[in-house]
Amino acid sequence: MKTLFQKIADREIPSKMVYEDDQCFAIEDINPQAPVHILVIPKRVIVRLGEVSAEDSALLGHLLVVAGQVARERGVAASGFRAVINSGADAGETVPHLHVHVVGGRALGWPPG
């Protein structure tokens, strides 16, 4: 059974796609928590960060590079942004398909949560 993000990647569910390459894609979050809230999603399913292996290193690095690129394109890199990966229910994970939240465009509080 496909994850929500696989269905989006396959264009079965509409989204506001802002980036795509052979390894990942980025979409606007449907429930943004800041003026800029983009999800960077690998095309290959990794369930969560707590389950990655050494073989995932290059892909994880690529996701962070794309997160930085998206932040620059959206104009939040200079002022600051947050890159977040939720892993597990207690962290707020709602889709079992690893993804990076790029959040910015306003001052973000600390600690999060």
Domain count, the chain: 1
Structural domain contains residue 92: yes
59, containing H or E segment: helix 57-73
Residue at 74 is within a domain: yes
CATH code: domain of residue 43: 3.30.428.10
* Domain extent at residue 74: 4-104
Q: Say yes or no to pLDDT of 113 above 80.
A: no
Catalytic residue ranges:
99
DSSP 49: G
Q: How confident is the model at residue 112 (pLDDT cuts 50, 70, 90)?
A: confident
Q: Could you report the per-residue pLDDT of 82-98, keeping only the tens digit for each? A: 999 999 999 999 999 99
pLDDT in the model for residue 28: 98
Give first-to-last CA distance, the chain, whole Å: 31
Q: Which residues of 56-66 are buried (b: 16+ CB within 10 A; e: fewer)?
A: beebbebbeeb
